């Protein structure tokens, strides 16, 4: 097991994605290096008020310390108290145009360490799409690219991780999905390190293929105050999920991570309305009726 190989890949992945998104947007990212007093640090790349993105954040972190946070040891209570090392790249993109979807991607590696014992390691990650206005073509493309990322590792991976994503990115208190899903996996440690690491790389390498064609197709569509208001309302669901359920947010805050970097995933403009319902037959109603329903997108 070579943690340095994982770190080298993740740092290069962050650079590659930031360069591509900067070219797409027309504005450069700000690079913010930070250190964690308890051990480790990272680089947060952030773009705000760009040509395409209202906010885009791509973060790399490599942190370590004594005692796994509760969010990391919940699935494996026997590991509580071990020291840990965690590396990952996480991104959330919030475009200004409501016809361009929000997207999230994360790939990460954990290792729990105890003197005199074999290290326990696992990989996690995935990507998911959160449209405000649905397009069948976009949903199918995103899911087909997710399938392609996992295909070398077995035909069972995509349906398994697609189902996991649908179940994970679900707001139980609203009884609705956050978006149209994608893939999600965690605690993956078999059949061996090299295979799991290769799968992480494939997921990371397929992100730009999954998202850029969608952003390029929709970025020039005209919109007005009505569409922006609906986008701000739906962004409220994104905030609710990240602050109530998201494991990455909980891990970062519980481990003493940098709040600015952890919470860069939140949209800059958001709104809540009391008991709002979309007008029957509207594009807004179509999102609920045809897209936020846990469909099989043919991936």
The span from the CA of 228 to the CA of 263, in Å, is: 22
The span from the CA of 239 to the CA of 259, in Å, is: 15
The span from the CA of 299 to the CA of 210, in Å, is: 12
Residues catalogued as catalytic: 104
| Cis before 191? omega within 30 | yes
The span from the CA of 172 to the CA of 296, in Å, is: 20
| Residue 86 near residue 63, CB atoms below 8 Å | yes
Backbone angles phi, psi at 45, to 5 degrees: -105, 120
* Percent composition of the chain: helix, strand, coil (DSSP 3-state, to 5): 45, 25, 30
């Amino acid at each position: 097991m070579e943690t340095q190989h994982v770190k080298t890949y993740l740092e290069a992945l962050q650079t590659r994605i930031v360069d591509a998104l900067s070219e797409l947007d027309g504005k450069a990212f700000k690079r913010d290096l930070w250190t964690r007093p308890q051990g480790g640090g990272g680089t947060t790349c952030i773009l705000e008020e760009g040509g395409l993105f209202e906010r885009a954040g791509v973060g790399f972190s490599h942190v370590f310390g004594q005692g796994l946070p509760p969010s990391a040891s919940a699935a494996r209570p026997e590991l509580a108290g071990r020291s840990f090392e965690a590396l990952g790249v996480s991104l959330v993109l919030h475009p200004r145009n409501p016809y361009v979807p929000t997207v999230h991607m994360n790939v990460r590696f954990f290792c729990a360490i105890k003197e005199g014992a074999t290290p326990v390691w696992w990989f996690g990650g995935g990507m998911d799409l959160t449209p405000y206005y649905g397009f069948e073509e976009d949903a199918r493309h995103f899911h087909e690219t997710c399938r392609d990322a996992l295909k070398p590792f077995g035909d069972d991976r995509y349906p398994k991780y697609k189902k996991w994503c649908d179940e994970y990115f679900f707001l139980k208190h609203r009884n609705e999905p956050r978006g149209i899903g994608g893939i999600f996996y965690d605690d993956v440690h078999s059949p061996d390190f090299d295979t799991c690491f290769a799968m992480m790389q494939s997921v990371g390498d397929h992100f730009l293929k999954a998202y850029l064609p969608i952003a390029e197709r929709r970025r020039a569509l005209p919109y007005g105050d009505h569409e922006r208001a609906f986008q701000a309302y739906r962004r409220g669901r994104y905030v609710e999920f990240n602050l109530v359920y998201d494991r990455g947010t909980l891990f970062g805050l519980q481990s003493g991570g940098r709040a600015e970097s952890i919470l860069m995933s939140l949209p800059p403009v958001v709104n809540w309305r009391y008991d709002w319902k979309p007008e029957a037959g509207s594009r807004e109603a179509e999102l609920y009726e045809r897209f936020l329903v846990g469909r099989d997108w043919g991936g």
